[in-house]
């Protein structure tokens, strides 16, 4: 299937109003329209809207892009519909190994002492952290404890625990739908369900999204995911009123991945990126840009979703920034070209991206991508399939 023509969403007319925006995705790839029901699709869009509103409240109050992106991602991590946190897929050994990342285009205003060279943090092989995105944020803000841009495993989670990041028993991540996908993918019978449900109610309290509550059928306890054998992630990119861009991504990887596999989500430049740079050009161009009200700086934030192995090989996320900076491509052109290149090599997926002016791009080259955008008007716009326009639920 050819890549979908990128439809860049531009901000409203220039005004004195603060310019902030949040764009999210809940994974891309194998969702199929045929056989899905309106109720099923509405559940996904309801959670996307909830995530957008959570991040919007942070931006509306003048908060940091980083915090808005984490808030949005946390909502999806708490929902079993998405391949992250509580809905994460299983590896080949029947275990959950999660990954997450955070990156900012410049240090957040709330932490002015943060070195300008420290722009992100990522973690892989997570097995106990309830909300991986919280761990990425905590480690980023603790350079003395976690000076590296990427860490992994038990030591990283222990550091997170010292910083107050909530830990849970690994059984918290179990869901029946993902467990059956795991067994089905290995050619094993789906029943009996052998992996134990969590027995500690504290780990599955009201903070976790009850999928049945999203439906009119309140007595329906079971649910079926729209995406089959997912390879996607969840992610958010936010622009705050100070011009800072933050990208946050979280995933369970792909179903029946090898034990210890590291995907693109924690690999800086592959599955995520955020950066700003000074506009190039001589005296005339700089003055022309100033007369047009353009900032001295350009910037971009990216979160990818799909088959991460291809994103790693292409350094997909940072490639978008380089195309904008050195080739003079627009956000629309750069994201579309990268998605097209991935498709040519067999890499299916999509990206969400925004620039410093508030333009948003959501290109994909597969059947669909759970996605949404919210601007200062506070209206959450969402879509699922490749040929859908963003609309209000």
Q: Which two tokens stand for residue 43?
A: 């559940």
Per-residue confidence (pLDDT) for residue 296, from 0 to 100:
87
C-alpha 313: how far from its chain's center?
A: 19
Q: Give per-residue pLDDT as tens, 286-336.
A: 666 666 667 789 999 999 999 999 999 999 999 999 999 999 999 999 999
pTM score: 0.90
Which residues, at least 6 apart from 205, have a Cβ–Cβ distance to it below 8 Å?
none
Per-residue confidence (pLDDT) for residue 195, from 0 to 100:
59
Q: Is 233 a catalytic residue?
A: yes
Alpha helices (H) in 230-307, listed in sequence order: 283-291
**CA atoms lying within 13 Å on the CB side of residue 75:** 23
Instruction: Categorize the per-residue pLDDT at 197 as very low, low, confident or very high, splitting at 50, 70 and 90.
Output: low
Mean pLDDT value of segment 219-240: 75
Per-residue confidence (pLDDT) for residue 218, from 0 to 100:
44
Neighbours of 150 (CB within 10 A): 17
- Average per-residue pLDDT for the chain: 89
The catalytic residue among 209, 233, 255, 265 is 233
Write down the residue that tokens 């791009």 correspond to.
361
Mean pLDDT value of segment 14-25: 81
Per-residue confidence (pLDDT) for residue 84, from 0 to 100:
97
Rounded Cα–Cα distance for residues 181 and 49 (Å): 27
């Amino acid at each position: 299937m050819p890549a979908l023509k990128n439809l860049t969403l531009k901000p409203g007319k220039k005004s004195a109003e603060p310019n902030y925006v949040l764009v999210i995705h809940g994974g891309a790839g194998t969702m199929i329209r045929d056989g899905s029901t309106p109720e099923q699709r509405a559940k996904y869009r309801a959670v996307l809207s909830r995530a957008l509103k959570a991040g919007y409240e942070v931006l509306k109050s003048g908060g940091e892009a980083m915090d808005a992106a984490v808030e949005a991602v946390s909502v999806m991590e708490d929902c079993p519909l998405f391949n992250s946190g509580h809905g994460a897929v299983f590896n080949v050994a029947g275990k959950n190994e999660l990954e997450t990342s955070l990156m900012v285009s410049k240090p957040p205003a709330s932490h002015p002492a943060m070195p300008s060279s420290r722009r992100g943090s990522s973690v892989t092989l997570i097995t106990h952290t309830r909300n991986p995105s919280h761990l990425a944020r905590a480690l980023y803000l603790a350079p003395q404890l976690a000076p590296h841009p990427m860490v992994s495993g038990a030591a990283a989670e222990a550091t997170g625990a010292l910083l107050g990041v909530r830990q849970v028993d690994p059984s918290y991540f179990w869901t029946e739908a993902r467990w059956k996908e795991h067994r089905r993918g290995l050619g094993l019978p789906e029943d009996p369900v052998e992996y134990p449900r969590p027995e500690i109610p504290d780990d599955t309290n009201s903070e976790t999204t009850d999928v049945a509550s999203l439906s009119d059928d309140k007595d329906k306890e079971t649910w079926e995911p729209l995406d089959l054998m997912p390879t996607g992630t969840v992610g958010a990119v936010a622009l705050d009123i100070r011009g800072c861009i933050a990208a946050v991504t979280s995933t369970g990887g792909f179903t029946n991945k090898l034990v210890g596999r590291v995907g693109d989500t924690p690999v800086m430049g592959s599955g995520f990126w955020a950066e700003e740079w000074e506009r190039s050009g001589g005296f005339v161009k700089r003055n022309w840009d100033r007369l047009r009200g353009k900032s001295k700086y350009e910037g971009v934030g990216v979160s990818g979703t799909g088959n991460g192995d291809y994103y790693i090989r292409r350094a997909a996320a940072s490639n978008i920034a380089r195309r904008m900076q050195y080739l003079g491509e627009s956000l629309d052109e750069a994201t579309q070209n990268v998605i097209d290149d991935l498709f040519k090599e067999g890499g299916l997926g999509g990206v969400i991206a925004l620039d410093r002016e508030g333009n948003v791009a959501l290109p994909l080259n597969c059947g669909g991508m759970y996605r949404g955008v919210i601007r200062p008007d506070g209206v959450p716009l969402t879509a699922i399939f490749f040929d859908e326009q963003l609309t209000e639920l």
